[in-house]
Amino acid sequence: FSFAPPSILSLTISKERKERMLSDQIQELSFAIEEIKAEKGERWTIKQIESQKKRLEQQLKALSDETRKDDLINFEELGIDSIMVDEAHHFKNLAIFSKMNNVSGISSSGSQKAMDMYLKCQYLSEINDGRGIVFATGTPVSNTMCELYVMQLYLQKQALERMDIHHFDSWATNFGEVTTALELTVEGSGFRFKSRFNKFTNLPELMTTFREVADVQTADMLSLPVPGLRGGGYIIVDSEPDWYIKQVMESFVERAEAIRAGGVDPSVDNFLKITNEARLLGTDARLLERDAPNNPDSKLNKVVENVAAEYFANNKDGKIGCQLVFSDIGTPKATWTEEWEDLFKSGERTFDVYNYIKTELVKKEIPADEIAFVHDAKTDAQRETLFREMRTGKKKIMIGSTDQCGTGVNVQRHLVAMHHIDCPWKPSCIEQREGRGIRQGNENENIAVYRYVTKGTFDAYSWSLVENKQRFISQVMTSKSVSRTCEDIDEATLSYAEIKAVATGNPLIKEKMQLENDVQRLKLLKSTYDSQKYSLEDNITIRFPKLIAAAEEKAECVRADIKQAEAGLLSEPDFAVTIGKAKYTERVDGGMVMLEAISKCKNGETTHLGEFKGFELLVEKNFIGVNYMVLRGKTDYKAELSTSPVGNMVKLENLFGGIAQNLDFLTKKIEQYQRDLEQSKVDYEKPFAQEAELTEKIARLNELNVQLDLENGRADVDLIGEDKQDRVAESSMYHARPPGKEGR
């Protein structure tokens, strides 16, 4: 079967498979909580995982309460043994359960459609020994390399398990690192430690494994009959900022300085808000302020000029030339009318990019009925009609956003030009946009791709960021020049240094801002280093000695239980279990009586059931229907119960027979604790690694302060005067002004 979203979602997976998946995830989180507690981990991390666990328990309970509809055929009953999923990137938002859920780049909340697809893939993988699933997508990785793990879960879970990778944390241990750094908060009110899963290691091995299931083919490799870029590259159209844009950019700097200095309520202003407003400003100032002037040389006016020029150049002598105009900013709030401009001027309509462009194109004598907004097509039927009209040339200009005019839009036949009014944050969005025209089926040899930039705003910088992301993803996916390690990038907020540097055009200011951040960061790292020394001392004198002692004590209990088990086998070599006061020598009888006894036990309690070869037999019941058999000697041994009488008796025998394995586990634990103790002793003797870097950066910061001629005088910084270091970050008034500053 071949599917495209969302048709496959209509085929439901069985209730039993959903319940098993939720139970497995709950158990996984329970183990994670126990491990973090044993390692004296952070309390708030435990709370976050417990919150996840509670949410899953509620989902499991709701699922258990559902009544099955007899007439509903589930996915497993349809006889499907293979699927091919087009546009598979729609299913990348799969929940990742991890002890590191406080780390950026890792999301514990996923979409329902991704989980549904995952369950179907696991079913097909089980019945086909890892085969039977084909994903087709142009963007398997769109923004962060964590998405690669999700693709591997779908397509090669069994291969990961053969590598002893059973969950995200073990994958991360093999192929990544969590990098922790001090950075400004989004609100700009201070520094915080931020952990990010964004450093990848062993990249050649990772990509070798992935390419067992991934046939990566780029346009360069395939040499497909697709149009080339007119002129051999992108057409960059620069617009000079007018006095109004320059003035607003200066206000952004002032706001950023105020935020950074502290005292600004984050709900009133923050760096994310400035970033979003700057994106609006770079598109058109009227998106920020309706009364802003209409600059004749603005970005939107140049878009209108180029779209009109392409229209008249390519629609003559019987030729048809169509165009796509992309903007995620300033989407239409209402359908276009001839009176739009008058309605806007009178205040009855807000300014938007789409209606303005269409109004101006109509003024240039392009028929209004040949210009379409993809947003006006509300239903699938209306969208298909619109796309057919683009393919036939009835519509010649279509304006849309990435979401509405990207994936699944086949209008390439007569496309001669595409226009990027704004720059999306994700490289995949650009790929999806340009893939509408640079694809098979376009009858033109070349296509013009315009990128519009308003100088003095964040436009050019945004394009630079997204190109760096694309370069990183492309190198990894195609295995070109893949180093052993690399840093992932997934930021969507500009920093204070970036705002200041872009607004002023002075690269020294960005360097100074970065140095101020670094000095603050290194100073706090030095403080953290001192705190870690105390923590290491605690590890050496208290924590690991206690863990070793506790593990050794439990190991002694297991040794005693091993002797008890040996004695029990000698006195009673054949199967026999006591439930209540009666002894049963047949597994099916003992199992059925035990299940009956368990049904009478209370939830949330551990209850005595009987005896097995000298060990007490108990049941532990929780509130979500997952029950555990407990064999108690000097210590406890647990196994999850099933609904099979004989199966439970087999589990009981396996639990009894596996007592000795617990000693092996504890022995390895003790050895690990001893290694950790020795490592703590080594780490305790290490000096602060960034001492020289801190000294060097303070010296360079002083040099820059002199060059930039601070109004408050030179801010000397040294390693001794901490109050002076604090003042460095507060000094941000410069004599240096933006080049070419104009008055209003």
Span 89-131, pLDDT tens digits: 888 888 777 766 555 556 667 777 888 888 888 888 888 877 8
Q: What are phi and psi of 697, to 5 degrees?
A: -75, -30
Whole-number Å distance between alpha carbons of 685 and 183: 28
What pLDDT score does 727 carry? 31
C-alpha closest to that of 637 among 696, 563, 554:
554
Hunting for tokens 């009488």 — which residue is that?
645
Core vs surface per residue 337-351: b (16+ CB within 10 A) or e: eeebbeebeeeebeb
Each domain of the chain, given as residue ranges in start order, spans 2-216, 228-472, 539-684, 688-744
Examine the pLDDT at 57 and tell me if it is beyond 60.
yes
Q: Given pLDDT bands bounded at 50, 70 and 90, which one contains residue 490? A: very low
Distance (Å, whole) CA 357 – CA 341: 11
Q: Which whole number is the average pLDDT over 628-635?
A: 92
pLDDT tens string 640-674: 888 888 888 988 998 898 888 888 888 988 998 99
Q: Is the pLDDT of residue 257 over 70?
A: yes
Angstrom distance (rounded) from CA 273 to CA 282: 14
Count CB-CB contacts under 10 A for residue 424. Answer: 20
* Helix, coil or strand: residue 13: coil
Of the pLDDT bands very low, low, confident and very high (cuts 50, 70, 90), residue 719 is: very low
Give the pLDDT of residue 7: 57
pLDDT at 526: 80
Omega before residue 6 within 30° of 0, cis: yes
pLDDT at 677 over 60: yes
* Residue range 485-508: mean pLDDT, rounded: 56
* 720 φ/ψ angles, rounded to the nearest 5 degrees: -95, -45
Residues in the chain: 744
Closest-CA residue to 271 (of 491, 489, 418, 450): 491
Q: Closest Cα partner for 107 from 160, 63, 52?
A: 52
pLDDT digits 0-9 by tens, 400-410:
998 888 777 88
Sorted by sequence, the CB contacts under 8 Å of residue 412 that are 6+ apart come out as: 436, 437, 439, 440, 441, 442
Q: Is 183 left (phi over 0), alpha (psi -120 to 50) or beta?
A: beta
Say which range, 148-157, 416-425, 465-474, has the weakest mean pLDDT.
465-474
What is the average pLDDT across 445-465? 85
Q: Which residue has the tokens 């802003």?
A: 292
Tokens representing 195 are 């952990």
- On the question of pLDDT at 39 being above 70, the answer is no
What is the structure's pLDDT at 639? Answer: 85
Q: Quick check: 636 and 645 in contact, CB under 8 A?
A: no
Query: Mean pLDDT across the stretch 145-156?
Result: 85
Spatial separation of the C-alpha atoms in residues 132 and 213, rounded to whole Å: 12
Question: How many other C-beta atoms can be found within 10 angstroms of the C-beta atom of residue 476?
Answer: 23
CATH number of this structure's domain 228-472, picked from the four choices 3.40.140.10, 3.30.70.270, 3.40.50.300, 3.30.70.580: 3.40.50.300
The pLDDT score that the predictor gives to residue 209 is 87
DSSP collapsed to 3 states, 652-686: HHHHHHCHHHHHHHHHHHHHHHHHHHHHHHHHHCC
Q: Give the pairing of strands 606-612 and 615-621.
A: antiparallel
Give residue-wise pLDDT tens across range 503-526: 556 667 667 767 877 787 787 778
Q: What is the tally of helices (H) and strands (E) in the chain?
A: 24, 19
Amino acid letter, 440:
Q
Cα–Cα dist 436/374, whole Å? 14
Quick one: what percent of the chain has pLDDT higher than 70?
A: 78
Name which residue leads in pLDDT, 252 or 260.
Answer: 252
What pLDDT, on the 0 to 100 scale, is given for residue 102? 55
Q: Which residues contact 370 (CB under 8 A, 6 or more apart)?
A: 394, 395, 396, 397
- Model confidence at 443, pLDDT cuts 50, 70, 90, reads very high
Q: Which alpha helices (DSSP H) does 317-352 contain, by range? A: 340-345
Structure tokens at 137: 């997508």
Q: Which amino acid is at 393?
A: G
Q: Which of 140, 134, 136, 183 is nearest to 155 (CA)?
A: 134
Sheet holding 191-200, edge to edge: 176-184, 191-200, 486-487
